[in-house]
Amino acid sequence: MARRAANQNGKEGRFSLGGRASGVLLHPTSLPGPHGNGDLGPPAAAFADLLAAGKQRFWQMLPVGPSGYGNSPYSALSAFAGNPLLVSLERLAEEGLLDEAPAPLRNTGRVDYAVSGALRGRALRAAFDRFQTGARFAKDRAALQEFSAAQAHWLPDFALYSAIKERQGQKPWVAWPRGLRLREPEELARAARELARETAFHRFEQFLFDRQWRALKRACAARSVGLIGDLPLFVAHDSADVWAHPRLFDLDPEGGLSAVAGVPPDYFSSTGQRWGNPLYRWDRMRREGYRFWIDRLALLLSRFDAVRLDHFIGFVRYWQIPATAPTAQEGRFRKGPGEELFAAVRAKLGALPLIAEDLGLVTPQVTALREKLGLPGIKILQFAFGTDPHADSFLPHNYPRASVAYTGTHDNDTTAGWFYEKVGGTRSGKQTHKERRAALEYLHSDGAEIHWDMIRGVLASVAMLAVLPMQDLLGLGDEARMNRPGTACGNWEWRLTGSQASPRVAARLAKLTELYGRSAR
């Protein structure tokens, strides 16, 4: 893999994490819009306007790669590619790649990935046909060639992987014919010849994603809104990355899993979380100078102004689960790469604006690494009132300045859902009542607008950055939860409707943001 150029944002850029600020967490698929899921088109620009009106400095997102198993953005088909579902068909019509955008689908407040994917797939292929032959797109075709050359360290593998996957009926690569699965040169060459048009189509999709992404980033910057991305520690087994670079992962000789990633039992799940991702061969990554990680971070920081490192504790120690184990209860801790990885990254890319998601079984070694690297950690207000062994550290009066404070994250229930959870949910009735009482007393709240009281709590804290899930700004309940860890269905589907994100919400947020000295203006 070729080296990527260093991030162009600079060490102390316009959207430095060093100042007191706030932002909103909303994944682009959750935006409103006409074609089944939110995308990078007009609704994204409108949301940037809403953030600007609310005096926010940052828009935080989940990973934006092409989602894989369970539609999870944390199980992407590539650690480098963008999600074609985010390409705006309205923008393609404006550019003349489509005669007109497809007829709108009704926004039910949920993403139907099958319907949206089919509609968008047909439209993107029609746009590709026009792009290939239209005289007016000659300059764009030249731009595509430049884009392909700049992304040569990942794009050819991803395009071929995607084309073969389609021919194989979307089977995971480990179920492909042996020659393709094990990347025998003659079989790869034959597939590349036979699937040349399909691989060109997937390069085209990535070109469109990149062009629309950069346009959105410029639009956000013009409104003084920076973007915060998310980097999962592990990658999916069924991904172009593992297929193209099997030597870097703990696999058996046929490409199967020897062990998988996850976390032991914790606050989220009594049986732990069995993620199923392959584990890294850190010894081999070290010998290659951690090129995979350098390339990955360089690309991500060309898209975002700052990046959240998901499961930061895994850089110190990670939970190794036997591939045959049905849950994460059976496993053991293994040593991660630690400071050595970050030293290699910094040597190539310089100091980077990173946030360490240091939740879970945090050891003194995890804290020591985060502090040595100078990275802010994460504080979740919902955890302050429950059974988490570090509950006191999640109370706002105990936050260190070098932290990012949330009411909750994508893995939590919404604040209203958490507070009003029905008996028989994830907590006992006694525990739910205890947490409610503690929250009301601490926040000096009557519970009528618990979501705004929790928002006030994190905004008023000394934490350098406060990030608020959009669902909490709207006071939405359990029906708007983004993810339930340990479950495979019904996640990542929540969407805004057009009327929910009102100017009234932005005005109220702006007032609190200014009151607590976090205003972007």
Residues with active-site annotation: 310, 357, 411
One DSSP character per residue, 377-433 reads EEEEGGGGGSS-TTGGGGSGGG--SSEEEES--TTSPPHHHHHTPPTTSSS-HHHHH
Torsions phi, psi for 403 (to 5 deg): -150, 160
In contact, 155 and 148? CB cutoff 8 Å: yes
Q: How far apart are CA 151 and CA 148, in angstroms?
A: 5
Give the C-alpha separation, 110 to 242, whole Å: 31
Kindly state the DSSP code that residue 135 receives in the 8-state scheme.
Answer: G
* Cα–Cα–Cα angle for 180, 185, 188, rounded to 5 degrees: 45
d(CA 448, CA 475): 10
Instruction: Name the packing angle between helices 503-515 and 450-460 (round to 10°).
Output: 40
Four-residue CA torsion sign, 284, 329, 68, 90: negative
For residue 353, the Cα-to-chain-centroid distance in whole angstroms is: 16
d(Cα 513, Cα 507) in Å, to the nearest integer?
Answer: 10
**Long-range pairs for 81-84 at CB < 8 Å and ≥24 separation?**
81/154, 81/155, 81/158, 81/206, 81/209, 81/240, 82/206, 82/209, 82/210, 82/213, 83/29, 83/209, 84/120, 84/121, 84/124, 84/205, 84/206, 84/208, 84/209
Token code pair at residue 61: 């997102």
Distance, in Å, from the CA atom of 108 to the CA atom of 30, rounded to the nearest integer, reads: 12
Task: Note whether 98 and 89 are within 8 A (CB).
Answer: yes
39 in Cβ contact with 87 (< 8 Å): yes
Indicate if the alpha-carbon torsion angle 339, 342, 343, 344 is positive or negative.
positive
| Tokens read off for 414 | 């919404």
Q: Any idea which residue has 């699965």 for tokens?
A: 181
